[in-house]
Amino acid sequence: MLGNFSYHNPTKLYFGEDSLRFLKDELQHYGQNILLVYGGGSIKKNGLYDEIIAVLNDCGKHVAEVAGVMPNPTVEKLREGVRIAREHHADFILAVGGGSVCDYSKAVSVSIHCDDDPWEKYYIRFEEPSCEIVPVGCILTMAGTGSEMNGGAVITNHEQHLKIGHVFGDDVMPKFSILNPRYTMTLPKYQMVAGIYDIMNHICEQYFSGEDDNTSDYISEGLMRGLIHASRIAVKDPQDYEARSNIMWTATWALNTLVSRGKSTDWMVHMLGQSVGAYTDATHGMTLAAVSLPYYRYIMPYGVKKFARFATEVWGICAEGKTDAQLAEAGLAAMESWMQELGLVMKISELGVTEDMIEGIADGTIILDGGYKVLDRSEVISVLKASM
Ligand code: NZQ
Ligand code: ZN
């Protein structure tokens, strides 16, 4: 049964090859001092930086820049961005990049007018913002996280070996996001497939919970089927615009709060993956790929009916003559061979995890209780060991 919930998503989207032309109109709703945030240089190489600067100049905006936002943005970089934003009296943050740049911009936006240390306030004490929030707009260059239409902001603290996400509310979600699939075409294949798996796993994290008949699950199954289809085309031909545009749109709907309505949601693959990321700084989607199958094979007996449904409805496996357990395993085997087709990393040892890190990774894994089995610490360790 669906139960009670509210649904509201304030982010306005502009999708397609023409979408950048709406930037000028959108910027007119905000102040003059823009903080332009971007990553390690991909937007300079592919010409997007010049296009955006031209629009900003055309609007007469005063621009300060935070460049070099790294994948898995750090708390030190967050503090640097807050300092630059304050010096510039930023009234709007324009994020141009992937999930890291979008997440980072949201974290800066809630910290500029806040006296507390942002790590302590938002990532340790999990408090909500009590200060003015500087609005954010995104121009997305990588499909995967859904950050373009959600309140998530994941920050890494290497000193403390912690990578933690805070999901902020409506006020922190981007005011608008520009989604041009063409921008994702310059992504290295490693990042493209990591993003595809991130999308798949966002849907799985919400799908593998609950035993009720729930509209969200039917939407999720459609999203997964479409993603698998498009991913197979994109892996063979990364320049296929149709496939890349379907992947980008699926990423947004996978994690913009729609398919979590009425669901308890699991998110343990992300908790495990984030802790692996805190130790290795590995690419987010690859950390998820590496822990997924050991985790799902372990919890499958506790949610066998849903895993059997996953096999028939997502992977098209014929149910005839099979028990639920056989179907469930066949579904996971189908997912495994698709992951191999994509060329995903399937072991945490290949991401730099060594035996001596396992205890620390387990300590950094937040245990959630919305899925089919609540893990204890020893079970976290055995899932991690099964991925070595
Ligand atoms: O920094 P640049 O030079 O731009 O290069 C980036 C980066 O090296 C590159 N890239 C992005 N677009 C490109 C491109 N290279 C060439 N052409 C382009 N068009 O790709 C690399 C990875 O970018 P990044 O932004 O780190 O990837 P992703 O979008 O996967 O974001 C990962 C971060 O998002 C967090 C992750 O934990 C991680 O910190 N997440 C955020 C979520 C949310 N907001 O809800 C949920 C996710 O589960 C995830 O946790
Ligand atoms: Zn993710």
**Cβ distance 105 to 136 under 8 Å?**
yes
Q: What pLDDT shows up at residue 95?
A: 99
Res 1 pLDDT > 90: no
| Centre of ligand 1 from the C-alpha of residue 32, in Å | 28
Closest ligand 1 atom, CA of 68? 1
Q: What is the pLDDT of residues 310-361, one digit of tens each?
A: 999 999 999 999 999 999 999 999 999 999 999 999 999 999 999 999 999 9
Q: What is the pLDDT of residues 244-277, one digit of tens each?
A: 999 999 999 999 999 999 999 999 999 999 999 9
Q: Identify the DSSP state of 262.
A: T
pLDDT bucket at 153, cuts 50 / 70 / 90: very high
Q: Do the domains spanning 12-183 and 189-386 agree at the CATH topology level? A: no
Dist CA 167 CA 170 (whole Å): 10
Q: Which CATH architecture is the domain 12-183 placed in?
A: 3-Layer(aba) Sandwich (3.40)
| Centre of ligand 2 from the C-alpha of residue 198, in Å | 5
State the sign of the Cα–Cα–Cα–Cα dihedral 299, 144, 103, 350: positive
User: Which residues are bridge partners to 34 per DSSP?
Assistant: 63, 92
CB neighbourhood size of 35 (10 A):
25
Q: What pLDDT shows up at residue 3?
A: 86
What are the boundaries of each domain within the chain?
12-183, 189-386
Q: What is the pLDDT of residues 175-198, one digit of tens each?
A: 999 999 999 999 999 999 999 999
| Centre of ligand 2 from the C-alpha of residue 199, in Å | 7
Apex 295 CA angle, 294 and 300, nearest 5: 105
| Centre of ligand 1 from the C-alpha of residue 287, in Å | 13
User: Which residues are bridge partners to 152 per DSSP?
Assistant: 167
The average confidence (pLDDT) of the chain is 98
Structure tokens at 340: 């191999």
Ion ligand 2 — residues with CB < 5 Å: 198
Binding-site residues, ligand 1, Cβ < 6 A = 39-42, 46, 71-72, 97-101, 103, 141-142, 144-147, 150, 152, 154, 165, 183-184, 186-187, 191, 195, 198, 255, 270, 284-285
Q: What pLDDT shows up at residue 162?
A: 96
Dist CA 174 CA 176 (whole Å): 5
Starting at the edge strand that comes first in sequence, how are the strands of the sheet with 62-66 ordered?
12-15, 176-179, 136-140, 92-97, 33-38, 62-66
Q: What is the pLDDT of residues 204-214, one digit of tens each?
A: 999 999 999 99
State residue 155 phi and psi, 5-degree precision. Answer: -130, 145
Token look-up 């979008």 returns 102
Q: Among 193, 123, 169, which residue's Cα sits nearest to residue 11? A: 169
User: Which residues are bridge partners to 166 per DSSP?
Assistant: 153
pLDDT bucket at 2, cuts 50 / 70 / 90: confident
**Cβ distance 279 to 360 under 8 Å?**
yes
DSSP state string for 204-237: HHHHSS--S--HHHHHHHHHHHHHHHHHHHHHH-
The set of residues, in sequence order, having a beta carbon less than 8 Å from that of 54 and lying 6+ positions away, is none
> What value does the mean pLDDT take over residues 89-112?
98
Look up the pTM and report it. 0.98
> What value does the mean pLDDT take over residues 25-52?
97
Res 129 pLDDT > 90: yes
CATH value of 189-386 in 3.90.1260.10, 1.20.1090.10, 3.30.1490.20, 1.10.630.10: 1.20.1090.10
CB neighbourhood size of 308 (10 A):
23
Dist CA 210 CA 194 (whole Å): 27
Residue 16 carries which side chain, given as an amino acid letter? G
Long-range contacts of 229-234, Cβ-Cβ distance < 8 Å, separation of 24 or more: 231/193, 231/196, 231/338, 231/342, 232/338, 232/341, 234/192, 234/196
